[in-house]
Amino acid sequence: MFDWLIVGAGFAGSVLAERLARGSGKRVLLLDKRRHIGGNAYDHYDDEGLLVHAYGPHVFHTNSKEVFDYLSQFTAWRPYQHRVLASVDGQLVPIPINLDTINYLYNLRLTSLELEAFFAERAERIAHARTSEDVIVGKIGRELYEKFFRNYARKQWGLDPSELDASVTTHIPVRTSRDDRYFTDTYQAMPLRGYTRMFERMLDHPNIKVMLGVDFREVERSIPHDQVIYTGSIDAYFDHRYGPLPYRSLEFRFETKNAPIFQPAPVVNHPNEHPYTRVTECKYLTGQEHPKTTLVYEYPRAEGEPYYPIPRPENVVLYRKYEALAAATPGVHFIGRLATYRYYNMDQVVAQALKLYAKLTGLPRKQTTL
């Protein structure tokens, strides 16, 4: 008999398993249909002995001290500042767009102040930004939108930015400084021995039993349990009663090169050429020393593993119907990116799991992680 049956061993399920077992002495069964823990953050050593991220590059960054302190119990960290270049007009330039991006691209010598005026001159007046295109064109003008964003979004989403919700691009950072860091969060670091090792330590507790390669549907009736935490797809839980929630998928192609380092940055975006969107060189992220290096190419796909909820108003309406079913299902708690049909970063999911733990146990928030 388990107190909790937790579906999904990603961040949402694993943090709750750890807290309920170690923090509250509950007996937990954590199961995942994949044959590994870690969810999408899973990393492993490939045939050449290089540490790679199986589901695309995962860079940890957060402004939450609570989240960082919590995870620090299970891993040491390697300080890491992420940087991305974009291949545009035959040059590799920093993205987010900054002072150097514009000066390289147009062969100018603008100052930060002049760059503000440069953007202001080009920005189009848009009264109500409804779509992604409106947001970007309203900020930096049509030419930069065409060079950096339009084709990238078309590949990524299979939709033109004029068909995508404004929320996809509300946070597009454009800088007038020379700061070329991809993120500006207070805490930016990678788990020193990788994500999977961190999950192993998190789940190493006598009250946690982990079952891998098992779908919840196969065992829900045969394993006695009290309550459920469900981090899988919400539409699947309700047998797609109202139809499937649309997702965009990715195919990851790994390629090992016979050189210690291959490209000049951790990630190179290819907005305009090639069918893939970006190429990541894992060694920059992991800090591993090795005579070879592995690259991962991301090809957006319509079919496959569900990665990105497609941000269209009708999909939100459909999700709300499933959300109402979830609210009327006692004893089952829905959490995580698939169960709430939202894109979240890892730190946001950890924060949500800690919050749910506080709610389930009635403990004040600051006592939940000790």
Count of residues near ligand FAD by CB under 6 A: 34
CA atoms within 13 Å, Cβ hemisphere of 35: 1
CB of 98 to ligand FAD, least distance (A): 20
Instruction: CB nearer to ligand FAD: give 102 or 354.
Output: 354
**In contact, 149 and 88? CB cutoff 8 Å:** no
Q: Give the HSE-up count for residue 168: Cα atoms under 13 Å, Cβ half-sphere.
A: 26
Tell the smallest beta-carbon distance from residue 218 to ligand FAD (Å).
8
State the nearest-atom distance from the C-beta of 36 to ligand FAD, in Å: 8
- Does 181 bind ligand FAD (CB under 6 A)? Our answer is no
110 burial via Cβ count (<10 Å: 0-12, 13-18, 19+): middle
Least Cβ distance, residue 76 to ligand FAD (angstroms): 19
**For ligand FAD, which is the closer residue by CB, 250 or 268?**
250
Instruction: Tell me if 196 sits within 8 A of 5, measured CB to CB.
Output: no
Residues 211-250: x where in contact with ligand FAD by CB under 6 A, - otherwise, as a string: ----xxx-------------xx-----------------x
Please report how close the Cβ of residue 125 comes to ligand FAD at its closest, in angstroms: 34
Residue from 74, 77, 254, 344 touching ligand FAD (CB under 6 A): that is 344
The binding track of 30-69 with respect to ligand FAD, each residue x by CB under 6 A or -, is -xxxx----xxx-------------xxxxx----------
7 binds ligand FAD (CB under 6 A): yes
Distance CA(208)–CA(28), nearest Å, equals: 5
Distance of closest approach, residue 130 Cβ to ligand FAD, in angstroms: 26
Select 126 or 214, whichever has its Cβ closest to ligand FAD. 214
Query: Residue 65 Cβ, how far from ligand FAD at the closest point, in Å?
Result: 16
Q: How near is the Cβ of 172 to ligand FAD at its closest, in Å?
A: 16
Q: Binding to ligand FAD (CB under 6 A): which residues in 247-276?
A: 250
Residue matched to tokens 């800090």: 287
Residue (7 or 159) nearer to ligand FAD, CB: 7
Beta carbon nearer to ligand FAD, 89 or 251: 251
Does 319 sit near ligand FAD (CB under 6 A)? no
Residues found near ligand FAD in the complex (CB under 6 A): 7-13, 31-34, 39-41, 55-59, 215-217, 231-232, 250, 307, 336-338, 344-347, 349
